[in-house]
């Protein structure tokens, strides 16, 4: 399996930007990626005032590379870039070494509560 991380800086962003990003994920992005061919899973992660990112795991490098190329072509205009006001600071492919699922299992959700980071 192959992964990709796309990260935006939130340094200096107004506090409401993170909530706007979470609302965008809940209303639009979650559904889009739930049906993306070749995607095993995507996690949206954030650290208030620091960064927001999408972490993707694909079935193989072909799907990862195709998605990465298509995203890089529009990165500056992507919805998250529009909310943040700047393009991603990182677009980085990586390899999955292992995945462990704990006894509580995965919980897929379009939105979790944002807490103090």
Q: What is the CATH number of the domain that holds 49?
A: 3.30.70.100
* Strand 2-9 versus strand 51-58 pairing type: antiparallel
* pLDDT value of residue 111: 87
Q: Is residue 70 part of a domain?
A: yes
pLDDT tens for residues 44-60?
999 999 999 999 999 99
Q: Is residue 108 part of a domain?
A: no
The verdict on pTM exceeding 0.85 is yes
User: How many structural domains compose the chain?
Assistant: 1
Nearest-angstrom CA–CA distance, 65 and 2:
9
Average pLDDT over residues 80-99: 96
Q: Is residue 114 part of a domain?
A: no
Q: Is residue 11 part of a domain?
A: yes
């Amino acid at each position: 399996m192959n992964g990709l991380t796309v990260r935006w800086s939130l340094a200096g962003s107004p506090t409401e930007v993170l909530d706007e990003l979470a609302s965008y994920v809940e209303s639009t992005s979650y559904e889009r990626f739930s049906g993306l061919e070749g995607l095993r899973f995507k996690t949206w992660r954030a650290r208030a005032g620091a960064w927001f990112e999408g972490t993707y795991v694909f079935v193989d490098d072909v799907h990862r590379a195709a998605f990465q190329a298509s995203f890089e072509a529009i990165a500056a205009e992507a919805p998250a870039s529009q909310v943040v006001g700047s393009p991603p600071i990182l677009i980085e492919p990586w390899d999955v070494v292992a995945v462990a699922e704990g006894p509580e299992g995965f919980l897929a959700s379009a939105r979790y509560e944002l807490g103090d980071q």
